[in-house]
Amino acid sequence: MPTVVDTYIENRKRIQPNDANDNDTAHGGVVMKTMDEVGAMSAMRFAGETCVTAGVEDLSFRRPLPIGDVARVVSFVYQAGETSVRVRLHVDREDPRTGDCERTTESRFTFVAVDGDGHPTSVPELSVESERGRRLRQEAIDAESDGREGLA
C-alpha cells in the first residue's frame, strides 16, 4: 500500500518573463498549471494509474511570485476514495540566491484514476506509516475542516 510520504513530491520552476502578468509576477494560470502537473504526479505515484483532474478547492493566492524567483511546489496525497485521491498542494516563492522561502499559494486538488480506456478505476488504500506522514495528513485534514490553508 502506498503511503503519504511515498506520494510527497517537491518540484521547482523558475519564474521567467513569459510566465508573468503585467505586474512582473507569475500569472495565476501558470501557477495553477504547475500545481496541477505536480499534483497529478503525486496522484499517479499513489494510484499506479493515469490520473486526471476532477476538482480544485480553495485555490488561494496569498502573495505574488516575482520574475526571477523560484516556485517551489509541494504535493502529497492525504485521502483516497474508491477511484479518487485528494492531494494537498502549496507553493512557496524561493529566492534562488539564498533559499529563503515564503508561502504564496495553497490548494487541494481531487484526481480520478483512469484506465487505458479513460474509465475510472480503483485506487489502493492510503497507508500512514510514519510520524511525518501522520503529521502531513493531519495538517491537510485540519486545514480542510477549518476552511483554512496552513501546511508545514
Scanning the structure block, which residue is given the C-alpha cell 506520494? 7
Q: Which three cell numbers stand for residue 132?
A: 511525518
Task: Judge contact between 54 and 39, C-beta under 8 A.
Answer: no
**If phi over 0 gives left and psi between -120 and 50 gives alpha, with beta otherwise, what is residue 139?**
alpha
Query: How many angstroms separate the most distant Cα atoms in the chain?
Result: 47
Single out the residue of 117, 134, 135 nearest to residue 126, CA to CA. 134
Domain chopping of the chain, boundaries = 5-146
Q: What does the pLDDT profile of the chain (152 residues) look like in tens digits?
A: 899 999 999 999 999 999 999 999 999 999 999 999 999 999 999 999 999 999 999 898 999 999 999 999 999 999 999 999 999 999 999 999 999 999 999 999 999 999 999 999 999 999 999 999 999 999 899 878 765 444 33
CATH class, 5-146 region: alpha beta
- How many angstroms separate the CA atoms of 46 and 73, rounded? 18
User: What's the predicted TM-score (pTM) here?
Assistant: 0.91
Q: From its phi and psi, is residue 62 left (phi > 0), alpha (psi between -120 and 50) or beta?
A: alpha
User: Rounded CA gap, 8 and 2, in Å?
Assistant: 11
